[in-house]
A and B are shown apart, each in its own frame.
Chain A
Amino acid sequence: MTNLLIEMTERARVLGVPLSVQLDLTYRCNERCVHCYLDHDDHGEMTTAEIKHLLDEMAEAGVFILTLSGGEIFLRKDFFEILEHARRLMFCVKLKTNGILIREREAARIRDLGIESIQISIYSYRPEVHDAITLVPGSLKRSLTAIRFLKSQGLRVIVANVLMAENMQDYTGVRALATEMGVECTIDPTITPMMDGNRSTLNLGVRDAALREVFRDPELVGDVDEFCAIPAPAGESDLEATPCSAGHTACYVSPYGDLFPCVQFPLPTGNVRKQRFEDIWRHSERMNEVRSIRIKDLTTCTQCTHVSNCTRCPGLAFMEGNMRGPSSLDCEKSFARTGVASANMLAKKRSGANLVQIRAFPDLAAATA
């Protein structure tokens, strides 16, 4: 983020303006990625008119950065109508797609509409690995073709490489491919539970030694010593800080009009089909509860060595059962980075020790046998 954007985001936070919104246009998709957290059936997506009306309300509320995502956004037949409306309202539009449906014609239309960037998921430079993740044969070839079309139009393209155990060996190759194509590349080892709470997808993620290896690659993290250093103790300002932008300057709207603090924070706060966007944003009790939380209010985490620079995601903590609690996935990241266990990990270890103690009553077991 540039300094000016940081400054404007801070102003938006103070003013309570939702500067940035992700709007998923559909959960339908033409890929079936093994780690995806969505259910791909259509349970009643917003109509074109409803989405346009929502965009009007969001512009009125001060939303500047609009990320259109899904599902696969190009599966909506009205996609370009929605995009044109968004640009007419002068949103800074970012797109997330797999690119499979983008050909020269679509790339040219996207260029004409002046979008800020388009992010395309690439899991590997090898078709056998990428296609095994998307479960669509030929998908890597089609996504790369789309990138070339978009790049030839002068668009800013970002390759998003989600790291999992299955593709973890390939990120260097993906980065090299991105460089060769003249596009940016982001790498993210975060896998999220499914929106219905199913956590089975987490088993696909990069853990333990593999995660440590990723965090020690200077190509990814820059100064390894600095990145992996044990953080300084939290000061007063760290404890007074808010956990992240969710509910403060950012939120998420599902294809069904449900408004959440973030795409990774499935706490419904209202529905834009029934209430004005800004009314939910400003007055929803749940949104205000999320907004009220400061780092000092977190259970467990306030006692943690990592509290001043943890990547703790409040949404992942919520999915674990407590929006003020720790996010174990982020504890693992802090541990992989520094080698120091988090307060949450230590507490779990202690409760594990208690269980050993409970088992140590052979006489009682013998007496009841």
Chain B
Amino acid sequence: MSRLFVARNPRVAARSLDGEMMIMSGRDSTLFTLNRTATILWQAADGRTPLDEIVQTRICAEFDVTPAEALQDAETLARDLASHEILQVSEQPIQSTSLPSEGSR
């Protein structure tokens, strides 16, 4: 099974408010808020770390969930965020661009 890589879309605007990310789509200015799990995924989405590693080290470490179950949920979530152009998803590492690089604020 191939590994997935996720990266923050540089065209969005984002800020953490009380531990939750507010994200404004670069496509149509729609505002989204991410729950805690999605926020962790967003903050870890550097384009280089594989999704299964993010799940293992960041999500399973924080939530009482099995790695297989968490990975399946994370893949669904990543593809959903990608459909809104919030995340980029690829089977290859994703080159970082010169724009938004800081996901943790």
Q: A residues engaging B (CB < 8 A)? A: 2, 4-5, 8, 11-12, 15, 17, 19, 59-60, 62-64, 84, 87-93, 113-114, 116-117, 156
Rounded to whole angstroms, the CA-CA distance of A12 and B17 in the bound complex is: 7
Contact A60 B105, CB 8 Å, known A2-B31, A114-B99: yes
Residues of chain B with a CB closer than 8 A to A116's CB:
13, 24, 29
Which residues of chain B come closer than 8 Å to A84, judged between CB atoms? 98-99
CB-defined contacts of A89 to chain B, threshold 8 Å: 100, 102, 105
The minimal Cβ–Cβ distance linking B63 to chain A, given in whole angstroms, is 23
A117 x B29 contact (CB < 8 A): yes
Residues of chain A with a CB closer than 8 A to B103's CB: 90
Nearest 7 CB-CB pairings of A with B: A92-B13, A114-B11, A64-B15, A90-B14, A90-B100, A114-B26, A92-B24
Contact A90 B31 (CB under 8 A): no
A63 and B24 contacting across the interface, CB-CB below 8 Å: no
Of the listed residues B12, B15, B100, B103, the one surrounded by the most CB atoms of chain A closer than 10 A to its CB is B15
Q: Which A residues are CB-close (under 8 A) to B102?
A: 59, 88-90
Is B37 an interface position by the 8 A CB rule?
Answer: no
Chain A residue at minimal CB-CB distance from B105: A59
- Chain B, 49-105, CB within 8 A of any chain A CB: 98-103, 105
Does A93 lie within 8 Å of B13, measured CB to CB?
yes
Q: Is the CB of B13 within 8 A of A5?
A: no
A59 to B100, CA, bound (A): 12
Do A64 and B18 contact each other (CB < 8 Å), given the known contacts A90-B105, A93-B13, A114-B10? no
CB distance from B7 to the nearest CB of A (A): 14
Closest to A91 in B: B13
- Residues of chain A contacted by B100 (CB below 8 angstroms): 87-90
* B38 interface residue (CB < 8 Å to A): no
Please give me the residue from chain B that is nearest to A89 by CB atom.
B102
CB-CB contacts below 8 Å: B1-49 with A: 10-18, 22, 24, 26, 29-33
Q: Which residues from chain A contact B105 at a C-beta distance below 8 Å?
A: 59-60, 89-90
Residues in A whose Cβ lies below 8 Å from that of B98: 84, 88
Residues from chain B with Cβ under 8 Å of A90 in the complex: 12-15, 100, 102-103, 105
CA–CA, A143 and B17, complex, Å: 37
* 10 additional contacts (CB under 8 A) given A19-B17, A90-B102: A2-B30, A2-B31, A59-B15, A64-B13, A64-B17, A84-B99, A88-B98, A91-B13, A114-B99, A116-B24
Q: Which of A15, A114, A156 has the most CB of B within 10 A?
A: A114
Contact of A64 with B29 in the complex, beta carbons under 8 Å: no
Chain B residues closer than 8 Å to A19, beta-carbon distance: 17
Q: How far is the CB of B38 from chain A (nearest CB, A)?
A: 15
C-alpha gap A117/B29 in the complex (Å): 9
Pairwise interchain contact A15-B99, C-beta atoms closer than 8 A: no
- Complex-state Cα separation, A97 to B71, whole angstroms: 47
Cβ contacts under 8 Å, B16 to chain A: 62
Contact in complex: A5, B15 (CB < 8 Å): no
Q: Which of B10, B11, B22, B99 is in CB contact (< 8 Å) with A64?
A: B22
Which residues of the other chain, A, contact B18 by a CB distance below 8 angstroms? 11, 15
* A116 to B26 CA separation, bound complex (whole angstroms): 7
A91 to B98: give the CA distance in the assembly, Å.
Answer: 15
State the Cβ distance, B104 to closest chain A Cβ, in Å.
10
Nearest CB to that of A7 among chain B residues? B33
Q: Tell me the smallest distance from the CB of A234 to a CB of chain B, in Å.
A: 30
Whether the pair A62, B99 counts as a contact (CB closer than 8 A) is no
Q: What A residues does B99 contact at CB under 8 A?
A: 84, 87-88, 113-114
- Closest Cβ neighbor of B13 among chain A residues: A92
Query: Min CB distance, A76 to chain B, in Å?
Result: 20
Neighbouring A residues of B33 by C-beta, 8 Å: 4, 8
Quote the shortest CB–CB distance from A250 to chain B (angstroms).
14
Q: A88-B100, A90-B12, A114-B10 are in contact. Are A5 and B31 (CB under 8 A)?
A: yes
CB of B102, distance to nearest CB on chain A (Å): 7
Please tell me if the beta carbons of B13 and A15 are within 8 angstroms of each other in the complex.
Answer: no
Contacts of B13 in A (CB 8 A): 64, 90-93, 114, 116
Cβ-defined contact, B29 with A156, below 8 A? yes
B101 and A88: CB pair below 8 A? Answer: yes
Name the B residues within 8 Å of A64 (CB-CB): 13, 15, 17, 22
- Shortest CB–CB separation between residue B21 and chain A, in angstroms? 10
Instruction: Please give the distance in Å from A2's CB to the nearest CB on chain B.
Output: 6
